[in-house]
Structure 1
């Protein structure tokens, strides 16, 4: 996927494939810290997770990757990573918007762009995982048509 640029209200949206993942790193680190602070049981594990590990997971499990970056004044201010599995399962893998830019529909715009990409690629299912403790985002995702389907539980180490 080549790099595509779209300008909307002074925010430039850059779209590409896995080559854009490296630019996501600094924003992902903020998301990781947020998730670690929200998690009641797994904060230590989340805090230790590296961006390299997360990127490796994405590239290993995804058949296709789409990265959308929102940029203002040359600064990356938000991103959305969407993936498509070989079985056509689309996933909003990761979304983050800098706190100063929240409430301006950037997150919704990024997710909707990813969902349109999933439609173009004939996704048969769309999902997103939300860290337990970060339930404040559920109303945002509900507005986009996402609802709880099941609850997955992990066992704390040591096993």
Structure 2
């Protein structure tokens, strides 16, 4: 393995497209209620959302590559009111267990802290609660549940 961590701005979104599509399929598989929403959700929709969010602050893309091929990513944002958010994080199955998610989280959280984040959050898709222990290692705990009418 020849792993590298790359960091960039919103212009780096296209580099994570195949990985984001895998994450979106994972969300479609695990959610019991909104499967159709995830199946209909396209990368261009997500890209447009993040580009619009970058007008409210800054968006940062962290990408781990193995011999030049993307294997994991994290997208973080920081609004002007200094609220940071982990927008997305994903590691390919075959690379899980190698602490790459930790590497991405540390990079994203360090970026937020360096830029003065006062609060931080992450949203977890209903059905993906197995991710809670991972986020708890960084102090993220469930605070509320948003219910959405279909």
Q: Same fold (TM over 0.5)?
A: yes
Q: Normalising TM by the smaller chain, what interval? A: over 0.9
**When the two structures are superposed, what TM-score results if normalisation uses the length of structure 2?**
0.96
Which one of the candidate residues 89, 95, 100 is aligned to 1:95? 89
1:54 matches 2:46: yes
Segments of 5+ residues of structure 1 without an aligned counterpart are 1-8
1:32 matches 2:44: no
Number of the residue aligned with 2:80: 86
**When the two structures are superposed, what TM-score results if normalisation uses the length of structure 1?**
0.90
Q: Which whole-Å CA distance do the structure 2 matches of 1:98 and 1:71 have between them?
A: 11
Q: Which 4+ residue blocks in structure 1 deviate beyond 3 angstroms?
A: none
Q: Which whole-Å CA distance do the structure 2 matches of 1:131 and 1:117 have between them?
A: 24
Over residues 40-93 of structure 1, what are the superposed CA-to-partner deviations in whole Å (9 max), with x where a residue is unaligned? Answer: 110001111011111111121231011110001111000000001121110000
Deviation at 1:10, TM superposition (A): 2.7
Q: Which whole-Å CA distance do the structure 1 matches of 2:125 and 2:108 have between them?
A: 20
Number of the residue aligned with 1:65: 59
Q: Which whole-Å CA distance do the structure 1 matches of 2:34 and 2:25 have between them?
A: 12
Q: Which whole-Å CA distance do the structure 1 matches of 2:117 and 2:111 have between them?
A: 9
State the superposition RMSD in angstroms.
1.0
Number of the residue aligned with 1:117: 111
